[in-house]
Amino acid sequence: MSDERVEAAIKNWAPRFTSQGVDYNDFFRTTSRVEKWGDWCREWVVTGDVHHELAVKAEAGSNSISAGEAYISAALCYHFGKFVFQDFHDEYMSAANKSVQAFAKGLKLLDPTGERVEIPFDGATMVGTLRRPADIKKPPLVLLLPGLDSTKEEFFSWENVFLKRGLATFSLDGPGQGECGYNSHIRPDYEAAVSTALDTVTKRGDIDANRIGLAGVSLGGYYAPRAAAFEPRVKAAVGNCGPWNFAECWSILPSLTRAAFQHHSGAKNQEEAKAKANQLSLDGAAQKIKQPLLIIHGKLDRLIPWEQAHKIVNAVGSNAELAMFENGNHVCNNIPFVYRPLTADWLKEKLG
């Protein structure tokens, strides 16, 4: 296997795939079939189709749990087929649509209270997945914010960690992300998206609008602190492996990540993309954060250097906590059994 992009995808993101729910055997078999980058999406769709067929058969046999689980597995495979495959537009969109459709089917079967919520935003439509814990009339709500190439469909297993602790979740495809990204670009003032989302969900009678938290991963680890700085309805926030200034990380980013950012930011070339990355800076915003803030980072992060976490915490001050893991990679996806309970337990405590 000599394709640099294939090697980079496997090297940088294998723990992410498996921590989010892709079976290791699927990962090994699928990547073993990929000889060049142009094969990547197609082979993951092939694997996704296997799970989708199992889901259809299980549903026809009234085995709803098996069907739901298989639909979610299919959705993950389709998602990871296209997650940084934006140079092949038709394949990208086909896999994206298959992921959204499979996820919706799985959600209905595994969590009847799960709900798709569409929110108009600046000429586009944000889409979120709202899930509520059973038997709690008005639970606290945690908005889960994806990063550069993650989407709401990737968060099902992470949502379950919060739901088990009595916290509702709202996984959001904001500007430049997932379905919303079809007609919008990344913007540094992500608080505008969070505020608009909160305007919608806080009107409901089935969540506690006075207990709202945020948790973001990767670039979402920039979005969460940024939104907390400007949105007083947010009572606590967690940023996981997000940048202090994204441009400061530019030189070490994999080529796939730089290309993905160029696409999702609407930049015409890499030079413009780096300039846009420089706009994603917490300088001037971090100093405004008054809520409790937890910053999680791993010293083995290949994308966002761990020193970025210290810059965030130092700028925020005494209301910021740092959880630095010597053995953690990007998003600490190689130790999900550590960062996920930590995030959920911390937010549960802060939201009361």
Distance (Å, whole) CA 12 – CA 332: 12
DSSP E strands in 103-218: the ranges are: 115-121, 124-131, 141-145, 168-173, 212-217
DSSP state, residue 245: B
Rg of the Cα trace of the chain?
19
User: How far from 56 is each of 26, 69, 71, 245, 293, CA to CA, in Å?
Assistant: 19, 11, 8, 45, 43
144 pairs with which residues across the strands? 171, 215
Q: Which residues contact 186 (CB under 8 A, 6 or more apart)?
A: 148, 175, 176, 177, 219, 261, 264, 265, 266, 276, 280
- Scanning 164-219, the segments in alpha helix (DSSP H) are 191-201
| Sheet (strand 115-121) strand order | 115-121, 124-131, 168-173, 141-145, 212-217, 234-240, 293-298, 320-325
Residues involved in catalysis = 218
Backbone angles phi, psi at 125, to 5 degrees: -130, 115
Of the candidates 76, 41, 36, which has an alpha carbon nearest to the alpha carbon of residue 55? 76
